Chain A
Amino acid sequence: MNSTRLIACAATLLLLAAFALPREAHAGTPGTLPQSPLRGVPGGPTLAEEDTIPIPSALLPVYVVTAPRVSLDEILQRVAEGEARRDSLMLDQSYTLSARITYLDADEKAPTGAKTRVEYASKVYKKRPDKVREIPLRQKSDYKDQGEGIDIGAAPTMREQIASFAFEPRARGRFRFAIQDRRIVGGHVVYVISFTPRSSVDPLPEGRVWIDTNDFVIAREEFWYRGISPAPMFFKRIDSCVVERTKVDGKWWVVSRLLARVQVTSMARFFAKLSKEPLTPTIDFVGVQTDWRINQGLDDAVFSGATK
């Protein structure tokens, strides 16, 4: 019985040794996995024991690797192509548009006296080549004409030039571009590209865009007219315009929100007062596009009731 126990113990030890020793033996085999001279060096990197990457047996010289990185010109070109590709692949769209115009005083101070002047909502259907139908859903206004003259209508095109205007091939020459930032976010390389007008005589905005380089599509844009007004007699400044895009169905970047803050001049306010529709120093505009459906195969009958 005792001998049986001894045999069992010996067998167990041998079995354990059979599992354990070969690993140690492999690990210690010179030439297979060499002992790193960095191992155990104070301040050196801590290497995992199970690391199977061959470790260099000596310190190697440092090489600066230079590889071609996407140039700014190439980014601009790819953005133009990416936007064109995005547009060309869309066959139809539908979305709900909501807009709001707020009068307030936010000229270089915290907003006060905010008053909603217009709220508008519509359902928009578009189909290539140029079909569009916009069905107003709601309209609230305290203008004299109850907002009858409001024209926030949608265009039949699926191009979103409000986001890409500076990158349109015809407009690019009028702006100077620069890479402002480059970030890796969730596996996407996001470039922040700034643009400024080449000539300060031109009433063009300056701003910046965020470009997702997976699709080379503009994901967000901010622009403003702070140094020069497009119409100095009426607009003192356009502090900010923000265009936000959202990815729908995992592949379509579409404008989800548009915001603008406009500072109006004293002359514009004077004329508005004469017409008994007084203006505040600041006007905010917000437009939201939700419930996006893209390439759902809209029937032509949807557009039969469209007003041309």
Chain B
Amino acid sequence: MSLRVALLAFALAFLGSLTAPPARSQGAAPDSLGAFFKGLSDSTDASYGAQSIAIDTTGLDSLAANALMSPPRIKKGRGRLTLAPLLGYHRAESVIAGLTSRIGTPARGWLSMSGTYGFGNHEGRYAFGYRRTLVYHGLRRTRALADPGRILDGATRLDAEIEYARSSLAFMPEHAGHRLWNIEPVLSGKGSASLYEQRGATGSLTLWTGDWRFIAGARHAIEESMPVVTDWTLFNTSDAAPPNTQAKSDEYTEPFGSIGFRRGDWEFAGLIDARGGGADRWRLRGVLGKSLRLGTSLKFNAQFEGGATAANAPRQRRFEIGGDRAVPSLPLGTGGTDHLLLGKFEFVEAHDVLRAIGIGHPDWLVLQPMATFQTGVVWDDPAQRDVVFSKPPSNAWRSSMGAGFAMRVGAPEPDVLFRFYLGWPVGPEAGTPEVRASMSSTFDLIGRL
């Protein structure tokens, strides 16, 4: 009897299997799309391998079902103290060393502290800051709020920030580059802008919305000059270090503001910075940047910068034109006038040069050919007027060209390039040929927006 039942069951099962295909074929229309994508998915599984795709889901259903009522306690790293070393060298400070730290949460804000000690001038530098995000619509993640904001598609953010600091600041900071972790001053004494001391408090509000960034704030500060305390360099000990430009002693309260714009799809960005502080201190600066595709493997980047300040503005507010970010054949510190015009043009080609010529190289060393041209002028208004627009003297233009290699670093910003090139002067009084190395973003005169 049981045999019969088993045979019957087998027969039914067999019949079922026979009848199954027609049933599937009848239902093929709605299900076959799923089957089609399932087939692609299976192919993906095979290419990745079971070692990567198999996720342990044991017990996950019950954890998920009770997530709201009894959420598991899992330790997260939010609010931890972060510490990072600071190291640098400058002729006005000698070796400096210190620490920077930050602690906070997205809800409570971020407290930052940093301090360094200069072993040459025996002075300390410190900064205490607090930043809190008041409004945020966008990617609300711990990391997104821990870092300073930026223009992001679909994100709006309003930050309030206060800071009290005693700092060593660079003249013409927009062209100065990085002060810390900069090896060039150690090697040759060059590559670092003159410094002055600023002590004071700053409060600001920053709004990022759509393609725009707005900053408004106020500052009270005391500024002093800094003398040269060492002329030591690793490879150029016989030659004195460049002088440290003397700042004018000043105490002031100023409002400041900035409007920035960036459209990634247009590959266009713009910036206007303004500082107040009275008739003898105001300062205005604007930059435009635009990239163009030239064919499929060549890119052209252009930046235009203009600036004006009060005719009697202190030296530390005036404009300079030398250095990697301006006219590289001229040294940092060139200028010190109340007006500036600068144009920077750069061509970057896509091909990996070392691979193209068949030279073996580490996988990370991808060198792309590049060429640059810079031209600019700094001048004082002949009539000593406090004006924004003034005609530059035609004989004051200085230019340089360069050719070399660019390497995409991709960090901390995706468009950061390391550039290594030979720059030479074009025209009279445009400096001397220099081998230059610098790391900056495509629109380095605009910076992070």
A268 to B411, CA, bound (A): 12
Nearest CB in chain B: distance from A60 CB, A? 32
From known contacts A136-B74, A201-B350, infer whether A212 and B33 are also in contact, taking CB-CB under 8 Å.
Answer: yes
Chain A, 92-120, contact with B by CB distance < 8 Å: what is the 0/1 string? 00001011101010100001001000010
Whether B48 and A284, one on each chain, are in contact in the complex, defined by CB atoms closer than 8 angstroms, is yes
Chain B, 40-73, contact with A by CB distance < 8 Å: what is the 0/1 string? 1100100111011101110011011001100110
Q: Which residue of A lies closest to B145 (CB)?
A: A308
Whether B36 and A186, one on each chain, are in contact in the complex, defined by CB atoms closer than 8 angstroms, is yes
From known contacts A200-B296, A259-B48, infer whether A186 and B364 are also in contact, taking CB-CB under 8 Å.
Answer: no
A221 to B32, CA, bound (A): 19
Whether B48 and A200, one on each chain, are in contact in the complex, defined by CB atoms closer than 8 angstroms, is no
Q: Which of A231, A240, A268 contacts B408 (CB 8 A)?
A: A231
Chain B, 371-383, contact with A by CB distance < 8 Å: what is the 0/1 string? 0000000000000
Chain A, 122-161, contact with B by CB distance < 8 Å: what is the 0/1 string? 0100000110100111110000011011110101110100
Q: Is B299 in the interface zone, CB < 8 Å from A?
A: yes
Nearest CB in chain A: distance from B80 CB, A? 7
A83 to B152, CA, bound (A): 19
Whether A266 and B36, one on each chain, are in contact in the complex, defined by CB atoms closer than 8 angstroms, is no
Nearest CB in chain B: distance from A206 CB, A? 12
Q: Which of A174, A199, A288, A305 contacts B350 (CB 8 A)?
A: A199
Q: Is A302 in the interface zone, CB < 8 Å from B?
A: yes
Q: Is A86 in the interface zone, CB < 8 Å from B?
A: no
Chain B residues within an 8 Å CB radius of A305: 71
From known contacts A201-B297, A232-B364, A286-B55, infer whether A186 and B153 are also in contact, taking CB-CB under 8 Å.
Answer: no
Whether A308 and B106, one on each chain, are in contact in the complex, defined by CB atoms closer than 8 angstroms, is yes
Whether A230 and B410, one on each chain, are in contact in the complex, defined by CB atoms closer than 8 angstroms, is yes
Chain B residues within an 8 Å CB radius of A200: 296-297, 350
Q: Is A265 in the interface zone, CB < 8 Å from B?
A: yes
Whether B51 and A307, one on each chain, are in contact in the complex, defined by CB atoms closer than 8 angstroms, is no
Q: Which of B44, B71, B263, B414 contacts A242 (CB 8 A)?
A: B44
A47 to B16, CA, bound (A): 34
Whether B40 and A220, one on each chain, are in contact in the complex, defined by CB atoms closer than 8 angstroms, is yes
From known contacts A136-B72, A203-B414, infer whether A267 and B64 are also in contact, taking CB-CB under 8 Å.
Answer: no
Chain A residues within an 8 Å CB radius of B52: 100, 102, 104, 111, 114, 259, 261, 284, 286
Counting chain A CB atoms within 10 Å of each CB, the highest count among B28, B33, B136, B298 belongs to B33
Chain A, 152-187, contact with B by CB distance < 8 Å: what is the 0/1 string? 010111010000000010110110000000010111
Chain B residues within an 8 Å CB radius of A119: 55-56
Q: Is A198 in the interface zone, CB < 8 Å from B?
A: yes
Chain A residues within an 8 Å CB radius of B298: 199, 201
A174 to B287, CA, bound (A): 24
Q: Is B265 in the interface zone, CB < 8 Å from A?
A: yes
Nearest CB in chain B: distance from A233 CB, A? 5
Q: Which of A130, A155, A168, A240 contacts B141 (CB 8 A)?
A: A155
Q: Which of B77, B106, B154, B366 contacts A149 (CB 8 A)?
A: B77
Whether A156 and B140, one on each chain, are in contact in the complex, defined by CB atoms closer than 8 angstroms, is yes
**How many of chain B's residues touch chain A, expressed as a range?**
35 or more
Nearest CB in chain B: distance from A79 CB, A? 17
A173 to B28, CA, bound (A): 39
Q: Which residue of B lies closest to A186 (CB)?
A: B32
Chain B residues within an 8 Å CB radius of A85: none
Nearest CB in chain B: distance from A189 CB, A? 10
Chain A residues within an 8 Å CB radius of B49: 106, 111, 114
A244 to B31, CA, bound (A): 17
Q: Is B137 in the interface zone, CB < 8 Å from A?
A: yes
From known contacts A121-B63, A284-B48, infer whether A190 and B68 are also in contact, taking CB-CB under 8 Å.
Answer: no
Chain B residues within an 8 Å CB radius of A99: 55
Nearest CB in chain A: distance from B429 CB, A? 34
Q: Is B264 in the interface zone, CB < 8 Å from A?
A: yes
Whether A259 and B60, one on each chain, are in contact in the complex, defined by CB atoms closer than 8 angstroms, is no
From known contacts A96-B64, A185-B33, A308-B140, infer whether A229 and B366 are also in contact, taking CB-CB under 8 Å.
Answer: yes
Whether A233 and B60, one on each chain, are in contact in the complex, defined by CB atoms closer than 8 angstroms, is no
Whether B41 and A146, one on each chain, are in contact in the complex, defined by CB atoms closer than 8 angstroms, is no
Chain B, 109-152, contact with A by CB distance < 8 Å: what is the 0/1 string? 00000000000000000000000000011111111000000000
From known contacts A137-B60, A231-B414, infer whether A236 and B364 are also in contact, taking CB-CB under 8 Å.
Answer: yes
Chain B, 399-427, contact with A by CB distance < 8 Å: what is the 0/1 string? 00000000111110010000000000000
Counting chain B CB atoms within 10 Å of each CB, the highest count among A138, A203, A220, A257 belongs to A138
From known contacts A135-B67, A135-B71, A244-B37, infer whether A232 and B408 are also in contact, taking CB-CB under 8 Å.
Answer: yes
Q: Which residue of B lies closest to A132 (CB)?
A: B140
9 A-B contacts, Cβ less than 8 Å apart?
A145-B77, A155-B140, A170-B264, A185-B32, A199-B295, A199-B299, A210-B37, A220-B37, A261-B48
Of all A-B residue pairs in the complex, the 10 with the closest CB atoms, nearest first, are A231-B410, A186-B32, A148-B77, A114-B51, A123-B67, A284-B52, A200-B350, A265-B364, A201-B299, A170-B265
10 extra interchain contacts, Cβ-Cβ under 8 A, other than A151-B141, A200-B296? A123-B68, A135-B67, A136-B74, A136-B76, A170-B263, A183-B36, A186-B30, A231-B411, A232-B410, A307-B107
A interface vs B, CB < 8 Å? 96, 98-100, 102, 104, 106, 111, 114, 119, 121, 123, 129-130, 132, 135-139, 145-146, 148-151, 153, 155-157, 159, 168, 170-171, 173-174, 183, 185-188, 190, 198-203, 210, 212, 219-220, 228-236, 240, 242, 244, 247, 257, 259, 261, 265-268, 284, 286, 288, 291, 302, 305, 307-308
B interface vs A, CB < 8 Å? 28-37, 40-41, 44, 47-49, 51-53, 55-57, 60-61, 63-64, 67-68, 71-72, 74-78, 80, 105-107, 136-143, 153-154, 263-265, 293, 295-299, 348-350, 362-364, 366, 368, 407-411, 414
